[in-house]
Amino acid sequence: MDRCLAIPEIIHLICDGIRREGSGSKTLVQIACVSRTWSDIALDSLWYKITGMDRLIRCMPWELWLTATMFHHKKLILNRPIKISDLQLLEKYAPRVRVFHYRDTFNRFGAFGIKIPQWVQQAFFLSAHHPILPNLKEPHWAMCKSDITPFLRFFLNDRLEDLQLCIDITRMEQVYFLAFLPVLCPAISQLELTLSNRVHDNDLGDQIQDFTVPLCGWRYLTSLVITDTTLDGLLCIAMMPNLKLLGIEDARSIWRPSKSKTEGQASLLNELRGLEAPFSALQSLGVGTNEPALVITNFIRVLRNAKLSKIRISLNSELDSEGDLEDLFIALGEHCDHASLKSIRFFHSESHLSPGFSVLEPLLQFTALQSVDIDSSWDSWGLMLSKTEAAKIASAWPDVHTLSLTPDAKTPHFTLLVLLRLAKCTKLRHLSFALDASDPIARRALRDDPNLFKGVRNYSLRHLTIGKGSPISHKEFVARFLSGVFLNLDGIVWEGCGARAPEDVYAKRWMYVSRVLLPLLGRVRRKWCGSEGLVRPLKNSAREWAGKVEDDDGDWSDEQNLGKWLNGVDLN
């Protein structure tokens, strides 16, 4: 054996890499059987993360438990009471566990499809008089319908760093348990609390007031993801000095005080707005709501020149109008640092909106943006963009590498002329939008005016995603345009395409452009282009490379031998 394989640090790196792949359990078992030195390191990786209780129970003596088949499912049962000596056998494996996932669905059938009755788990916990997993750092616990909430304390210790809990808001024993967590786990820096069985009523502040209480106990959180909070909870979060990541998944109660608070809403609002530096360390913000957009807009207005690097906003309200979206983006421009924001993702699910460029225009102030994703649900609105407005985007966001502008829109508002302006984004690698490649005006302008192509060469774009509602005609012309402007384009993804060519004629044409025409034109360009990627002058062909093609549609391949071209074309 090579001497380097006797170095524990190298074996640790190998085993850790296998563990991160997620499918190397058998390999780690084989490594553990090589030698004692390798065994300890491999077992550390093998037991680093476990899901469910079955692996722990099955580590104890074989005569303690057995599996029986009932109703087509295997069920784990105990033959006798658990003894202290049984639990001592866990000492070889339990200290190795760092991440533990417990969910009702996992433990109903276990990680291996074995059902574990509730009383078996309770017996296991009652037999333990100390933390079951003493070195645990990240417990992920979904207690939605579980009756073993009181036994969660056997998994808690003062060294926990990351905690994820799913709480059934209708079970008060689970809600009250939260109040003790800051005392039991003071070192937690990353916290995710999720509500289930949430009731939609008019008094949301009463519903989650006890859910908000623990937040004030963790003053030094760096990451917090919660379903919702009340106004006093939001005030507490705003004063956390080290909070860098905040996620509020369904903000419906953030402007309602808890019933237990004697201060009124106006008093709490004044206190929140009077903070000298609210959310002082915040870098990443994610908020969503089913309420009107004004809920999120008012939250953004609380920020004061926040140095956010990432923002994610999700809206789902029929009451929103184009003006509400404009106010939201204006608030972002006024209350967030323009030089810090690098990524923004915005989603709205309603279909009645038809926003124009005025919605997007406030974002042009953020000159450091690298990723922009403005999206809506399928069969809904599409962002309207002219070639002049596209030129403004290319000028305002020189560092953007990912750009997605309502790719699922039913009615595309982008033409090839708009795409030509976006080609000036010299760092753009991923582009996604709904493109109207059948517009005759844009095609005629590109065909008759070769000067439009002068100096427009993009070497960065590698992936182009076309939305389902993207029509195309004169596909040979479209392929020549894309090949001549985006010289390193690997291919096109049409979101409606599966493994086989669908019946949709537009899907066939986009697939033909991507799989046949672009590779062919790429070969021609590599043969006839100079070192700078520019086409050499060819006799009697200048007009062809400028975009002059036949006047007819040229879609013979839609009916003739398309399957042969798409499935087994030989491009050599």
pLDDT of residue 144: 55
Angstrom CA distances, 529 to 220, 396, 478, 522, 544, stand at: 59, 31, 20, 10, 15
Give 205 or 466, the one with higher predicted confidence.
Answer: 466
Answer for the pair 419, 453: CB distance below 8 angstroms, yes or no: no
Which helix or strand (DSSP H or E) is residue 28 part of? helix 25-32
Instruction: Return the CA Rg of the chain.
Output: 30
In the numeric block, the tokens 């002219």 are attached to 386
* pLDDT tens per residue across span 505-549: 888 888 888 888 888 888 777 766 643 444 444 343 333 433 333
pTM of the model: 0.79
* pLDDT tens per residue across span 357-409: 888 899 999 999 999 998 876 455 567 788 899 999 999 999 999 999 877 77
* pLDDT tens per residue across span 270-329: 888 888 889 999 999 999 999 999 999 999 999 988 899 999 999 988 888 888 989 999
The residues facing 486 across adjacent strands are 458
Look at residue 431 and tell me whether its pLDDT is greater than 70. Answer: yes
Starting at the edge strand that comes first in sequence, how are the strands of the sheet with 73-78 ordered?
65-70, 73-78, 114-115
pLDDT of residue 446: 87
Least confident of 58-62, 206-210, 543-547, 556-560: 543-547
pLDDT of residue 143: 62
Which helix or strand (DSSP H or E) is residue 184 part of? helix 181-184
Q: Minimal CA–CA distance to 353: which of 378, 374, 383, 332?
A: 383
Question: What does the alpha-carbon distance between residue 12 and residue 15 come to, in Å, rounded to a whole number?
Answer: 5
Mean per-residue pLDDT over the chain, rounded: 78
Question: What does the alpha-carbon distance between residue 230 and residue 258 come to, in Å, rounded to a whole number?
Answer: 6
Place 494 in a pLDDT band, splitting at 50, 70 and 90: confident
Place 117 in a pLDDT band, splitting at 50, 70 and 90: low
Angle, CA 42 vertex, CA 40 and CA 43 arms, to 5°: 65
pLDDT of residue 503: 59
| Structure tokens, 417 | 């002329």
